[in-house]
Structures are given as C-alpha cells and as structure tokens.
C-alpha cells in the first residue's frame, strides 16, 4: 500500500512523513528518542534482561518432615513440582543459550537434529505428527539438547530427588542452615482454567503451556510421572 493510500484512510489526521530517531545503548537499557515533522515526539526504554540473574522468587524454608506433611495433604495431580539445586530462575535450556528465534529453531534446528540422530533411535519419529514431535523434543531435552521445555513432575518426591541428586554427603556436612534446595509447587489446574494451552512451540502470543508427551524411547518418563512446560518466555518468573 502506498503512503498516499494510507493517508486517505485517516483524512482527519496529520501523519508524519519524516521521523528522526536516536538510540542510546548502555549496560542497563536501550533508549530510543524520536521526533517527527508533524510535531510528535516520544521515548521508549527497553531495560536489559535480568533473566540470567538469580531467582527473586520468595523463599519459604521448610524442614523435610514438614514438607512431607504438607504434600501428603495435597489433591493428586492438581499441582506439579520441579526440583532445583540452585536458586536459578525458571528458564529453559534453550533460553539460557541466549537464543530467542523459535521460528528458526523449529524450521531449521529440529529437522537437522532429527536427520542426524534418526539412525540412533529405535523409533523413527514422524515430526509432522504433533504427538511424535513432542515426544522427540522431550527425548532431546533428556539427552541435554537445548529446548524451550522445563521438566516437571506430578510427584513432589520425584522433584525432591532432582533437587538433591547433585548434593554429596560432604556438601551436606558443611552446609549452613540457610543452604537449601528449591522445590517449586505450581497450581497447574488453576493455571489451565485461566490460560489455554498452546501446542505450537513458535507461537506468537506469550504463553506457558503444560504438555504430557508420549514416552517413546524415553521410558524413564513413566516412573518420573513427568510432564513439561513449553514456553516462548525467556524469564518465566518475571
């Protein structure tokens, strides 16, 4: 559409033909200032991401005995749990690599990965099938490939296992009273009543969706009572 055609759609508006934009970049933010020949001016400030910093989610220290008492009283499969040894933010392995273009990831990276490892899997994953695509992505996640998935479990004890599994007896012996692991409890049932699941990894709208994948070539998912969240958000907590 030509500029003259655009201006005809807004006959009572004064539309600028020229805009002068200046940009300033610092460690804290990107600042844009603009002025137009129509008399308009403005400023936009894009703060630097803090997704790589430690979690700011409030801590709630609790003993192991109190933890067991609380979780036993919970309704089964209403909540999901995630264990973490360190107080890192809820951030996927894909986003921790500094990448953000999920369209390229799904169009280029996943097909390339599929091509290279299909000779090593017992099952040939059909990526055009949504269920098999998810199973393939989850398998890649469990073998260390960066994905926009976060692992969760319906079992708080499984989450506790993953929170403690890298801790050694020597670590426990010298740990202070405030040195704790983290177990996130997320109200999945309430979340899904408010927000619809998005099955497309490269969806345009911001989302945090929970999906349960087929355990194809990935049998350990079953005893782990595993499910995953998929998201296009770099910093889920914020």
- Which pair of tokens denotes residue 106? 């799904």
C-alpha 125/C-alpha 142 separation (Å) is 16
What tens digit of pLDDT does each residue of 191-203 get? 999 999 998 889 9
Radius of gyration over every alpha carbon of the chain, rounded to an integer in angstroms: 23
Residue 79 region, left (φ>0) first, then alpha (ψ -120 to 50), else beta?
beta
What tens digit of pLDDT does each residue of 71-85 get? 999 999 999 999 999
Q: Nearest to residue 208, comparing CAs of 224, 218, 196, 216?
A: 196
What tens digit of pLDDT does each residue of 145-174 get? 999 999 999 999 999 999 999 888 888 888
Q: Give the model's pLDDT for residue 15.
A: 78
pTM: 0.83
**177 pLDDT more than 90:** no
């Amino acid at each position: 559409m030509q500029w003259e055609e655009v201006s005809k759609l807004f006959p009572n508006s004064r539309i600028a033909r020229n805009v002068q934009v200046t940009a300033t970049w610092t460690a804290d933010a990107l600042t844009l200032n603009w002025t137009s020949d129509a008399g308009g001016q403005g400023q936009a400030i894009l703060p630097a991401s803090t997704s790589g910093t430690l979690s700011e989610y409030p801590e709630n220290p609790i003993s192991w005995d109190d933890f067991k008492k609380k979780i036993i009283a919970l309704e089964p499969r209403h909540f999901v749990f995630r264990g973490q040894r360190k107080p890192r933010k809820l951030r996927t392995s894909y986003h921790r690599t500094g990448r953000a273009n999920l369209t390229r990831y799904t169009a280029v990276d996943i097909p390339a990965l599929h091509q290279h490892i299909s000779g090593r899997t017992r099952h040939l994953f059909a990526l055009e099938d949504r269920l098999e695509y998810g199973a393939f992505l989850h398998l890649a996640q469990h073998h260390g490939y960066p994905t926009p998935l976060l692992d969760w479990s319906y079992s708080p004890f499984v989450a506790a296992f993953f929170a403690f599994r890298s801790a050694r007896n020597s670590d426990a012996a010298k740990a202070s009273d405030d040195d704790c692991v983290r177990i996130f409890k997320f109200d999945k049932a309430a979340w899904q009543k408010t927000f619809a699941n998005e099955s497309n990894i490269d969806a345009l709208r911001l989302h945090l969706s929970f999906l349960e994948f087929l355990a194809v070539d990935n049998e350990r998912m079953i005893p782990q009572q595993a499910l995953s969240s998929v998201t296009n958000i770099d910093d889920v907590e914020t």
